[in-house]
Amino acid sequence: MFYNKCMGKTKQKYPRVDYQPRPMVFGDYTYSLTGFENDKRCILHSYIGHIDVGGDFEIPLEINGYQVCSFTDHFCFTLNGINRLIFPDGFMPLGDAFELGQDLSYLYTVTEIIVRNNENLTDIDGVLFWGHSLIKYPPLKEGETYIIPSGTDYIAPGAFYGARYLKSIVIPNTVEEIMENAFTNCFNLSSIIIPESVTCLGDSLFTGCLSLKTVVIESSMPNLLIGASLFFGCTSLQTVIINQDNPDYCVIDGIVYAKPGCFSWGDKKHTRDEYRLVYYPTAKKGDNYVIPSFVGYIAEFAFVDNPYLKTIQAYSLPIFNDMAFKGSRLDKSQVDIISLESSSAVEASNSAFLSNNNGIKNTNATNDKSSEDLSELKYIYPDVIITVADKFICIGNGHHLKDKRIKIRMVDLDNHLIDIPIEVGYCIECGRYYIYSDFYRKEVEPLYREGWKIIGTQFQLPDMKIIGYKVRRNNGTMATESIFKLCGYTVGYNSPLTAKDRHSILQGIIDKGLLGRQEIMSYLNHFIEFNGKSPSKDMTKAIDDWEEDLHNL
């Protein structure tokens, strides 16, 4: 068992050294006793029977008269081939969430975990939990996005180990500890945000995440211990973003540095009075790197596996950890010493680097409402927003949308994490957020300069489809006329209304809560598209009016 650096909150009650070293055999199982005096419980070491490939496996409650209370990682390894693991009614696990997660990380083939009437364990959509701790996400469970339930405060070792299909994992702001190897070998994971609430990150967190390009660490908690060991084998990792308020780490030009006084397990001195280079991203492009003069130490694995670096220069030679160049084509003997003309030039160089701390900052990227306090807006993950139009489910059920402003989170070309306010419609009954397709294309898409990306999954943008214009009146009956006509809104050659009159009516519909802005925009767009396919002479003016009103909203 490797060292758990978050042991302060998660203590193992039953150390494995008490387990008997030579297991006994009974039927299809090998087992040993717990090692506690007069204890009638046992630990399963392996399954030596026939595995029903693609089938179910239920953990036994009893072996040779002993109550089964735990199993080893090797036992889980011998079960590989099954699709569903079942914890039976009455199974009482020994140990804690850390130990259980560590053992289950060796189970690679399951698509679902089932728990039957257990006072400790539970399953949520096939995922194993122990109280508020996420223990195991089945590695072969289908689905590209997984939103961890709000209230989860602990992610066990290897919880997502080998999750083959996941591209996005949304971590709620209730999680406090993420343990060792939690996301190891999530081959398709492309980006992830570590929320502000996290106080502990385990070692080798993202080992083998081959598609991982962006890691955002919002937490500003001390002693997170961020280093290259988190990212072994992340061959696509280009960007690490760290909260500017983090007391121990900063990112400068995409490179992670530890600040003076930061504690480190890998450094024999543990704390140092100068900056330390802790991680040069594996996929960061550029064939030359100049070590800033304020850097006094290069940590272990700092340059691991980067294929682009050909030369490294330094103003003065820092101290190198013996493993600093492990996995790199370079070594410290190849570091060229360069000089600046004066000490003032060195200071200027330092200031330039330190002022370019590419951490998280809030920026209003829209031109309007620039003084708006973004902290007052609710942050919504993009994958929970859909476009108004998908058969107008809410309107068909008699609902209508309330206009809201929310914020989504993006990364720009300078590796800044920015919050962008957008307007959406919100259905209280359904709890859905909608965005009008054209609004998205005109107001949000232009912000996507080449290289930008949304943190989280992309917006869903289905084709515009509307089932008609009927809406429910307050008494619940269906109105047979368009709500626009009921409110006096008309367009075209025969309309007595001016553009100002029409806009006033539409604004009144919004103010009275009859329809939301997003709904009105969607209706107008449908009128334009439907009548624009084969416009008659009489409809040309109407289409022009709708387009003008759409742009004035």
* Residue-wise pLDDT tens digits, 335-367: 887 755 444 555 555 655 565 566 665 444 443
Q: Is the pLDDT of residue 433 over 80?
A: no
Write the CA distances from 252 to 211, 256, 276, 353, integer angstroms.
Answer: 23, 7, 12, 7
Over residues 28-42, the pLDDT tens digits come to 999 999 878 788 899
Domain count, the chain: 4
The most distant pair of C-alpha atoms in the chain lies apart, rounded to whole Å, by 95
Q: Which residue has the higher pLDDT, 388 or 85?
A: 85
Query: Mean pLDDT across the chain, nearest whole number?
Result: 77
Mean pLDDT of 57-85: 93
CB 227 within 8 A of CB 301: yes
Reported confidence tier of residue 152, pLDDT bands at 50, 70, 90: very high
- Quick one: 430 and 348 in the same domain? no
Reported confidence tier of residue 519, pLDDT bands at 50, 70, 90: confident
Out of 323-327, 348-352, 401-405, 426-430, pick the least confident: 348-352
Confirm whether 449 is domain-assigned.
yes
What is this structure's pTM? 0.66
- Quick one: 315 and 445 in the same domain? no
- Quick one: 432 and 491 in the same domain? no
Confirm whether 186 is domain-assigned.
no
- Quick one: 450 and 490 in the same domain? no
Q: At 437, which helix (H) or strand (E)?
A: helix 437-439
The predicted pLDDT at position 399 comes to: 67
- Quick one: 432 and 288 in the same domain? no
Q: Is the pLDDT of residue 422 over 50?
A: yes
- Quick one: 299 and 242 in the same domain? yes
The predicted pLDDT at position 336 comes to: 84
The predicted pLDDT at position 395 comes to: 56
- Domain range for 496: 483-552
Reported confidence tier of residue 502, pLDDT bands at 50, 70, 90: confident
Reported confidence tier of residue 95, pLDDT bands at 50, 70, 90: confident
Beta strands in 17-163 (DSSP E): 24-26, 29-33, 41-47, 56-58, 62-63, 66-71, 84-87, 112-115, 121-124, 127-130, 133-136, 145-147, 154-155
Q: How many CA atoms lie within 13 A of 460 on its CB side?
A: 13
Q: At 482, which helix (H) or strand (E)?
A: none
Q: Is the pLDDT of residue 478 over 60?
A: no
- Quick one: 9 and 135 in the same domain? yes
Percent of the chain with pLDDT over 90: 33
Sequence-ordered alpha helix ranges (H) in 375-431: 393-396
Mean pLDDT of 385-389: 48
The two tokens of residue 33 are 């006793």
Out of 61-75, 200-214, 249-263, 512-526, pick the least confident: 512-526
- Quick one: 14 and 141 in the same domain? yes
CB 104 within 8 A of CB 82: no
Q: Is the pLDDT of residue 469 over 80?
A: no
Reported confidence tier of residue 5, pLDDT bands at 50, 70, 90: low
- Quick one: 16 and 127 in the same domain? yes
Confirm whether 392 is domain-assigned.
no
Mean pLDDT of 186-209: 92
What are all long-range contacts of 474-481, with beta carbons under 8 Å and residues at least 24 apart? 476/398
The CATH number assigned to the domain holding 305 equals 3.80.10.10
